[in-house]
Amino acid sequence: MNAIDMKNTLLSLLLLIGCIHCKAQEKPNIVLLFADDAGYADFGFQGSKEMKTPNLDKLAKQSLRFTQAYVTDPTCGPSRAGLMTGRYQQRFGFEENNVPGFMSPVSAKDGPAMGLPVNETTIADYLKKRGYSTAFYGKWHLGGEDKFHPMKRGFDEFYGFRGGARDYFPYEKEPKEKLNKLEKGFGNFEEHNGYLTDELAKEALAFIDRSHKKGTPFFAFLSFNAVHTPMDATKEDLEQFPNLEGNRKIVAAMTLALDRAAGKIIDRLEELGIAENTLVVFTNDNGGPTDKNASINLPLSGTKSNYLEGGIRVPFLMKWPGKIKPNSTYDKPISTMDLLPTFYAAAGGNANELKNIDGVDLLPFLTGKSQKVPHETLFWKKDARGTIRKGNWKLLRFPDRPAKLFNIEEDPKELNDLAAQRPEIVKALYKELFQWESSLLRPRWLLRKSFEKDDIDRMDAYWPLQSN
């Protein structure tokens, strides 16, 4: 090869490398802002006159707002498991929160080891394959043992806590629940300075800066513990709500901090000039608990932990400049388990190639390429309680009383039970719900201090013993 040929070959290689780098830059950054236990009505963009959420209200005007967005469960851990895998979490037995007091009946080897099964592929796993830097901040709640750690589940960086609820201010002594200690990376436990909601945003900002400097697309998952109990707020934030009292005043202050943290992330994207190439989602893990933190889910009935709309329908915003119409709404049912295939498709992947997921890529529906409904049917289940929504019909099955039937389109507040009037619909939905349940793995853990052999035998009869 002569000198000219070598020069041309080198030039071609440099151009090829440049094109690869260029294509990598074309992939959108992805930011997921995830609240905890927030009330459906507790944001300005959702109609609240009490809460102060200027940053999220601004984001709402730049976003598409979903009016019928659902979670896969009305409690923290299972909801996160569904989002993280794009699957109904009951398919791998993650049916209850993994908290002290719950134990596994499946086998002796499982013992108290409760978490997202290690053979489940996470949203971070998929995005890493697409060349993304990935980071998780805040509340994990998907398993406390080392094998369940975020940095072993597809995330490059972690700053937060493995458990389900912790103080917002630094612990002055060892907390009762060890999983709620603050951790940076893997095994580096050290308490923060200041207020945790602000600190999570600070760490995420540093990750965004580093990723931008490297020129790599990034996925930042900010899993705020706000506004979950304990009811902790700063004096300065509390002073912004002189007309409120008790927990309502505190949750308003906590929401203000959440909004401030989200605003810092959104502003940094603008400052770095990457907002136009960043997909931003804001949503919540389940309905607000109207007792513990005085959340408001109106006009919906229900609360955290039940299957009325107030327990499973959540605020949901999605912004992607040039791809999704801003200041618009989408009124068909969607689910947080749709985030995995949607993010994967946004990252240049083919969502149709994803195996064993229940979520769908929302982009064809949001851009008008598909006029179909993302989900004709959605399911929820915990123990003997089960719920199915098919079209506008929603059936709630209880273990101790007759089922209820509602037409969600005509009666979103679920005030008019039509079960007695439409027995044929009740029967059909009961059958479909049971068929779905028969495909599930039995729960990996239940709230029991001990298990007798007869208990295990009865569970074996209902849920076939499967290895997962």
Buried b (16+ CB within 10 A) or exposed e, 386-396: bbbbbeebbbb
Residue 17 — φ and ψ, nearest 5°?
A: -60, -40
Q: Return the H-helix or E-strand segment holding 181.
A: none
pLDDT digits (tens, 9 = 90+) for 274-320: 999 999 999 999 999 999 999 999 999 999 999 999 999 999 999 99
Cβ–Cβ < 8 Å for 87, 358: yes
Q: Which domains does the chain carry?
A: 27-366 (3.40.720.10), 377-442 (3.30.1120.10)
Catalytic residue flag (residue 76):
yes
Q: Which token pair is 37?
A: 């236990």
Q: State the distance between the two ends of the chain, measured CA to CA, in whole angstroms.
A: 56
The pLDDT value given to residue 113: 72
**Residue 352 to residues 241, 345, 361, 375, 451: CA-CA distances in angstroms?**
48, 9, 8, 15, 42
Least confident of 225-234, 368-377, 438-447: 438-447
443 alpha-carbon distance from chain centroid:
20
Cβ partners under 8 Å of residue 190, min gap 6? 182, 184
pLDDT digits (tens, 9 = 90+) for 153-209: 999 999 999 999 999 999 999 998 899 999 999 999 999 999 999 999 999 999 999
d(CA 468, CA 356): 13
pLDDT digits (tens, 9 = 90+) for 37-73: 999 999 999 999 999 999 999 999 999 999 999 999 9
d(CA 314, CA 287): 6
Q: How confident is the model at residue 114 (pLDDT cuts 50, 70, 90)?
A: confident
Q: How confident is the model at residue 4 (pLDDT cuts 50, 70, 90)?
A: low
Cβ–Cβ < 8 Å for 152, 140: no
Token pair 């659902």 in the structure block, residue: 70
Catalytic residue flag (residue 149):
no
Strand-strand pairing, 188-189 and 218-223: unpaired
Q: How confident is the model at residue 446 (pLDDT cuts 50, 70, 90)?
A: confident
d(CA 38, CA 40): 6
Mean pLDDT of the chain: 90
The pLDDT value given to residue 101: 60
- Rounded-to-5 percentages of helix, strand, coil across the chain: 35, 15, 50
For the chain, the residue count is: 468
More confident residue, 124 or 106: 124
Identify which of 363, 422, 431, 367 has the alpha carbon closest to the alpha carbon of residue 392: 422
218, β-bridge pairs: 133
Q: Of 19, 21, 141, 192, which residue is the catalytic one? A: 141
Q: Of 19, 76, 228, 375, which residue is the catalytic one? A: 76
Task: Provide mean pLDDT across the span 137-149.
Answer: 95
Determine the 3-state secondary structure of 317 from DSSP: strand
Least confident of 11-25, 93-107, 111-125, 367-381: 11-25
The per-residue DSSP string of 10-73 comes to HHHHHHHHHHHHHHHHHSPEEEEEEESS--TT-SGGGT-SS---HHHHHHHHTSEEESSEE-S-
